[in-house]
Amino acid sequence: MADWVGHVAMYLIFLMIAILLLDAVTRNVIDIPLHWCIEAAQFTLAAYYFMGGAMTLKNNDHVRMDLFYDSLSVRGKARLDLITMICLLFYLCVMLYGSISSLGYAIETGERRFSMWNPSMIPIKSLMVGCLILMVLQTLSLAAKYWMTLRDEAVA
């Protein structure tokens, strides 16, 4: 699931480029500014970041400070990664709690962004909740992997 969502996210960059190109052409060439373009690009970028998170974790493509990490043993790396995953899990759970609360508010009030375009906030907040759940699941999977690495090393 993380791969599928991540691959969909990769193509959102092209959608965002198309939206910004449309905005530039309509505003500068034919002098008809489209007020929704910038906000649509912002929503697309937010979706891109959220949707790419689980795949980034799964493929170990996230940024890591390798100052001393590479010199650690397999067990040392697993221990450090497990600590990192626990911290990440705490952070993601706090974000998930807040995003569920924010989504509930958006649904109850029919929340819209205060702008000329006035889009509903429900779709982007729903996507945020879904992607955070996927990231929590991926983090749990990685934590289990690191835990098993520590147990296998301890047994051997």
pTM over 0.85: no
pLDDT at 156: 46
pLDDT at 154: 55
Cα-Cα-Cα-Cα torsion 84, 86, 90, 91, nearest 10 degrees, comes to 20
- Given 3-state DSSP classes, what are the helix, strand and coil percentages for the chain, each rounded to the nearest 5? 80, 0, 20
Tell me the pLDDT band of 153, cut-offs 50, 70 and 90: low
Tell me the per-residue pLDDT of 14-25, one tens digit each, with 9 for 90 and over.
999 999 999 999
- Domain boundaries of the chain, sorted by first residue: 2-155
